[in-house]
A = this chain, B = another copy of it.
Amino acid sequence: MSLRTYAILGTGALGGFYGARLQKAGLNVHFLLRSDYEHVSKHGLVVESVDGDFTLRQVNAYCDVEKMPRCDVVVVALKTTQNHVLPKLLPPIVKDDGVVLVLQNGLGVEAEVAQIVGNDKVIGGLCFLCSNKVGSGHICHLDYGQITLGEYAADYYAAGITERMRQIGEDFESAGILIELTEDLLLGRWKKLVWNIPYNGLSVILNATTAELMANVHTCKLVEQLMYEVLTGAKNSGRIIPDSFIQTMLDYTVKMKPYRTSMKIDYDERRPLEVEAIFGNPLRMAQAVGVDLPQISCLYRQLRFLDDKQKGG
């Protein structure tokens, strides 16, 4: 049994799911909550899952980070739209030899966290998870769950496989979560954007499911062109993704069940969109080396308009 302690910042669809699984596997987990704090303190967490339902009647719930113990692994499971609170949340709870595991979407999020806790204290995690919060402390896990872990190093230098990655990976595997280790976090992040940029963006802008986007010849082509732009962005930050990866992603999406993307769910539920992490940061990373990604830029500006309008409304 691992002695590592875990803090979960953001006990929602993602943090609630992984945190509950870790606790169920016997790990020592501490949950930070906001609106659900009262409910979860009293009633614990309920997870309905394709892997089997379970309830944790008692969890370590906190509404104030100052009351939490310092932990070995601090899991950032907030939406990136909340990242302005991290400078306040992280310093009090990361052990001196601890690490922050960033389970967020998009690009450049580890660098933001590293500015707060130091370059040597950050691991990134790419989650392939389909999960919703359906009520207070009530999570519905629909599909997938795999995490790809990668060490962060300054300027996203490929840091290889480290011992602490393996250990954290083993903790998650003990909780039944599939884990993959990557030697190059930035490559993993760009690869995930190959899917996330076209489908998240177009699903919101065109009010469409992945199936509808793939059934129309014009959006199918646009998805492909956007994927090529992501490969161009990756290449210009020194990461080669083969062209064949695009066809793999297209085929994979055609075979999927009709899927409402995470950004579409956020939009439909009138939550802020992760436009900067998923679109703005890749654009700026490309721009910094003089590369223009015009179609991604078009989606970025359209999404900012929709997001601003929703916030203003």
Contacts and interface: CB of A to CB of B under 8 A. Distances in A.
* 3 closest residue pairs by CB, A with B: A218-B304, A222-B301, A294-B294
B309 A222 contact: no
Interface in A293-313: 294-295, 297-302, 304-306, 308-309
B297 A297 contact: no
A219 B305 contact: yes
A34 interface: no
29 contacts: A202-B302, A205-B205, A205-B302, A206-B302, A206-B305, A208-B305, A208-B309, A213-B305, A216-B304, A216-B305, A218-B300, A218-B301, A218-B302, A218-B305, A218-B308, A219-B302, A219-B305, A222-B297, A222-B298, A222-B302, A222-B305, A225-B297, A225-B298, A294-B294, A294-B295, A294-B298, A295-B295, A295-B298, A298-B299
Contacts of A297: 222, 225, 295
Nearest to A275: B218
A299 to B, nearest CB: 7
| Residue picked from A216, A301, A309, most chain B C-beta under 10 Å | A301
A221 B301 CA distance: 8
Given A221-B301, A302-B219, A304-B218, A309 B205 contact: no
Interface of A: 202, 205-206, 208, 212-213, 216, 218-219, 221-222, 225, 294-295, 297-302, 304-306, 308-309
Given A208-B305, A222-B302, A295-B297, 8 more contacts: A205-B206, A206-B302, A216-B304, A218-B300, A218-B305, A219-B302, A222-B301, A295-B298
Nearest to A294: B294
A263 B308 CA distance: 24
Contact of A306 (B206, B298, B302, B306): B206
Contacts of A294: 225, 294-295, 298
Contacts of A208: 305, 309
A300 B219 CA distance: 10
Nearest to A226: B298
A223 to B, nearest CB: 9
A30 to B, nearest CB: 39
A293 to B, nearest CB: 9
Contact of A309 (B216, B298, B305): B216
Contacts of A219: 301-302, 304-305
Nearest to A223: B301
A44 B197 CA distance: 54
A304 B298 CA distance: 16
Contacts of A301: 218-219, 221-222
Contacts of A302: 202, 205-206, 218-219, 222
